[in-house]
Amino acid sequence: MKVALVGIGKIAVDQHVPAIVASPDWELAATVSRSGRVEGVDAFGDFATFLVQRPDVTVVSLCLPPQPRFPYAEAALRAGRHVMLEKPPGQTLAEVHALRDLAASVGVTLYATWHSRMAHAVAAAKAWLSDKTVTRAHITWREDVRHWHPGQDWVFEPGGMGVFDPGINALSILTEILPAPVHLTAADLEFPANRQTPIAARLTFSGGVTADFDWRQTGPQTWDIEVQTDNGNLALRMGGNVLEVDGKTTGERSVMGEYPALYARMAELVKGRQSEVDLSPMVHVSDALTLGRRITTDAFHF
Ligand code: NAP
């Protein structure tokens, strides 16, 4: 299947292009970007022109930040293209509801991807927890924004989600592996004095679940989820890639990397004429931004 990549920025270059090039299912047939391009691939600077000139490219993968993404997704769906969305799938829940309804009415696939759900040990963690009762869980997601998002001011603009841009990855894993859903009950959000989105968040959910997200961690980075149950303890470390049960690392891992697995899933969805749009991670973020207690902290500059 032919796919076009829209927004040739950090994640397109780091992950999407290599995953597509290595896949037997996909051909990278076009790019749409104001400045980026991929050598040897038909390049467009304007999305409307691409849609008119390349009707043979039936799948569009949007790698833009969430703020400009909706009009691209809407135009692609209206033009009868199947659409794959980077996480988070939109700036607001209502935007994604509209896209899901539009995809259904046009009869094309919409896939709201969550790349962290494809990390090597997530499926094994879900299987291990499936017959247990969770008594407590804690997420520690602490990383260095200057390292992972150098100069990307959009993360601190409205709709950019701040520390929830990585934090939603943890929430995508949590909502995938927990055997019963939880809901947010309280949040403390730290906003830099000169920015619109939080740089740190501490969350409390029902069911003894808590989370600590921080974008100011230099040195070793931490992406851990620790879960206590009525029948043993589990930890997912390294962003869902390492599974520990009762303190011992298990060898259970899926074979595919995150982005190859996303494109394999998109191929299945398109062939089956299905959509997959699970907004549960984003509901927790919206709820945190609704219930959160605002704390002003030091100004942030890249
Ligand atoms: P990015 O490099 O800052 O932006 C991606 C591309 O989007 C840019 O190169 C730009 O392409 C285009 N773009 C930016 N603002 C635009 C605007 N206002 N209008 C039209 N096009 C615009 O962002 P990224 O890090 O790749 O992140 C993109 C998405 O991937 C986000 O939702 C993010 O959460 C997700 N993601 C990122 C990472 C990561 O490590 N960075 C990891 C996983 C997922 P042109 O200027 O060339 O048009």
Q: Encode pLDDT of 286-300 as tens digits.
A: 999 999 999 999 999
User: Over 90: is that where the pLDDT of 227 sits?
Assistant: yes
> 88 preceded by cis ω (within 30°)?
yes
Exposure class string for 14-46: b at 16+ Cβ within 10 A, else e: ebbbebbeebeebebbbbbbeebebeebbebee
Out of 5, 10, 46, 92, give the residue to mutate to test ligand 1, the one with the largest number of ligand atoms within 8 Å of its CB. Answer: 10
174-206 residue pLDDT tens: 999 999 999 999 999 999 999 999 999 999 999
Instruction: Report how far ligand 1's centroid is from the alpha carbon of 246 (Å).
Output: 39
pTM confidence score: 0.97
User: Over 90: is that where the pLDDT of 55 sits?
Assistant: yes
Is any ligand 1 atom within 6 A of the Cβ of residue 68? yes
The C-alpha angle 266, 183, 133, rounded to 5 degrees, equals 85
Inter-residue contact 68 to 62 (CB < 8 Å):
no
CA nearest ligand 1 atom 4, residue: 9
Instruction: Report how far ligand 1's centroid is from the alpha carbon of 248 (Å).
Output: 38
For the residues 15-26, what does the mean pLDDT come to?
Answer: 97
Out of 33, 37, 62, 64, give the residue to mutate to test ligand 1, the one with the largest number of ligand atoms within 8 Å of its CB. Answer: 64
CA nearest ligand 1 atom 37, residue: 11
Q: Is 87 a catalytic residue?
A: yes
Is any ligand 1 atom within 6 A of the Cβ of residue 91? no
Inter-residue contact 216 to 145 (CB < 8 Å):
yes
Inter-residue contact 3 to 27 (CB < 8 Å):
yes
